[in-house]
Chains A and B, each alone.
Chain A
Amino acid sequence: MEQIINFLDDNTLAMLSLLVLSSFLGMEIIGKVPTVLHTPLMSGANAISGVVVIGAIILIRRADATDYLTLVLGFIGIALAMINVVGGFAVTNRMLDMFKKKERKN
């Protein structure tokens, strides 16, 4: 019991509430998506999951300037997540451009 109470301080409870409410929001938010938009939506959401880059930024900012292991891990983390973010939004944009051109031709 004590262990469980250790896990549940005020801060954890606040984050847990945030987590539960946001997952309901995430499930409701996209509603009915036409089949043609499945891939672009997946791609755009994928770019948003690159928000994990902020974690790597915090990791590096908190590190000592001589803690090279953390700095290198963080550097790789930021670089990989930035590929996800920038590449993800750019690819989605290209997909949706194609979509627009097709509509014009019809």
Chain B
Amino acid sequence: MDYSNIIDLLYLVSIIVFIIGLKGLSHPESARKGNQVAALGMGMAIVISLFAPETGDNNYLWIIGAMLVGGGIGLTSAKKVAMTKMPEMVSLFNGLGGACAMLIGIAEFGNLPAGTDMMSGAVLTNIFAMFVGAVSLTGSLVAYGKLNGSLRDNFTLPAPQLINITSLIGIIALSVMIMTQPELNMALVYALLGLSLFYGIAFVTPIGGGDMPVVISLLNSVTGIGATGAGLIYGNNIMIIGGILVGASGIILTVMMCEAMNRSLINVLVGNLGASG
């Protein structure tokens, strides 16, 4: 019996739970409950994904092992971290989520069946998930380093705007090259991966430590968009909706955080060269 429609219906329930949780999180009196509701939604979504019909070998031992390892590390580090170190912890967690999207993109490139049309939605979503995930990973690590002092606050690259724009153009060019090849060229994929990782660093390093919370919020939104990209690879609704909810609300939150500091987002991202010193 094909019960994939029932699975989709259950995913819909967990999406509703996510939305209620996120809404709760934005009001002071319901924030704590909202967080727990959102966690419940996540638990539901994960359990559903374990039971959804799939065609492979399932490999449940690998999944359970990885979940125990990750969950254990996450729980202990969340309990141990000092209250003052919370923002950098969030940044680190966020980067790891981005890393997951990136790894999915890489693995799915390897899994493309021979003879796949490169000019296709599947290749485009792979590129997208890998790029966004990689930027979120290295960007979050730089933000983490700047907040915890292991990277000097004024550590920056020469002519950062030029480097940023050149990297972005390079990323677009490599993506176009990958998609116009007759078949998959992994060398180009790895070049794109490397440049994306570099772009994350180049994007965050010029920004001063005082503005890091805004940047973390923006990168958080980026990770959400990366989760959406990975969701598009699998046509999985909960990932698409959960990811874009974070992506969209994250951008609004980022703008609100800038307003609270009487700055504009553009001002934080571009106009602060030398301003934080």
Known: A57-B49, A90-B78. A46 touches B97 (CB 8 A): yes
Q: A15-B232, A87-B75 are in contact. List 10 more A-B contacts (CB 8 A).
A: A7-B120, A35-B260, A58-B236, A62-B56, A70-B107, A79-B66, A80-B70, A81-B97, A87-B93, A90-B79
In the assembled complex, which residues on chain A have CB atoms less than 8 Å from the CB atom of B239? 51-52, 54-55
Binding site for B on A (CB under 8 A): 3, 6-7, 11-12, 15, 18-19, 22-27, 29-65, 69-71, 73-100
**What separation, in Å, do the CA atoms of A100 and B86 have in the docked complex?**
17
Is there a chain A Cβ closer than 8 Å to B77's Cβ?
yes
A19 to B97, CA, bound (A): 20
Interface hits, B182-214 → A, CB 8 Å: 213
- The residue on B at minimum CB distance from A52 is B227
Contact across chains for B119 and A3 when beta carbons are under 8 A apart: yes
A70→B106 CA distance, assembly (Å): 9
Expressed in whole angstroms, the Cα–Cα distance for A1 and B243 within the complex equals 30
Would you give the shortest CB distance from B93 to chain A, in whole angstroms? Answer: 5
Q: Are A57 and B50 in contact (CB under 8 A)?
A: yes
B19 to chain A minimum Cβ distance, whole angstroms, is 7
Stretch binding the partner chain, chosen from B144-152, B159-167, B245-253, B268-276: B245-253
Instruction: Bin chain B's interface residue count.
Output: 35 or more
Q: List 19 A-B contacts (CB under 8 A).
A: A18-B241, A19-B244, A22-B240, A25-B245, A27-B251, A41-B31, A45-B25, A48-B245, A52-B226, A61-B56, A61-B63, A62-B55, A65-B57, A75-B66, A78-B70, A83-B93, A84-B96, A89-B39, A95-B86
| Structural contact, B93 and A46, CB atoms closer than 8 A | yes
- B77: chain A residues at CB < 8 Å are 83, 87
In the bound assembly, the distance between CA atoms of A22 and B253 in angstroms comes to 16
Cβ-based interface call for B171 (8 A): no
A70→B110 contact, CB < 8 A:
yes
Q: Are A84's CB and B249's CB within 8 A? A: no
Given contacts A57-B49, A60-B59, are A49 and B97 in contact (CB under 8 A)?
yes
Assess whether B83 is interfacial by the CB under 8 Å rule: yes
Q: Within the assembled complex, what's the spacing in Å between the Cα atoms of A96 and B24?
A: 12
Q: Is the CB of A55 within 8 A of B119?
A: no
Q: Which residues of B contact A65 (CB under 8 A)?
A: 57, 59
Most chain A C-beta atoms within 10 Å of own C-beta, residue among B19, B93, B220, B243: B93
Which residues in chain B, 89-113, are within 8 Å of chain A measured between CB atoms?
89-90, 93-94, 96-97, 99-101, 103-104, 106-108, 110-111
Pairwise interchain contact A22-B67, C-beta atoms closer than 8 A: no
* B139 in the interface (beta carbon within 8 A): no
Q: Which residues of A contact B86 (CB under 8 A)?
A: 39, 43, 91, 94-95
Contacts of B213 on A, CB cut-off 8 Å? Answer: 38-39, 42
Top 9 A-B residue pairs of the complex, sorted by shortest distance between their CB atoms: A82-B70, A26-B248, A87-B74, A90-B78, A86-B74, A78-B66, A79-B70, A62-B56, A51-B242
A74 to B67, CA, bound (A): 11
B39 partner residues in chain A, CB cutoff 8 A: 47, 89
Q: Is the CB of B244 within 8 A of A61?
A: no
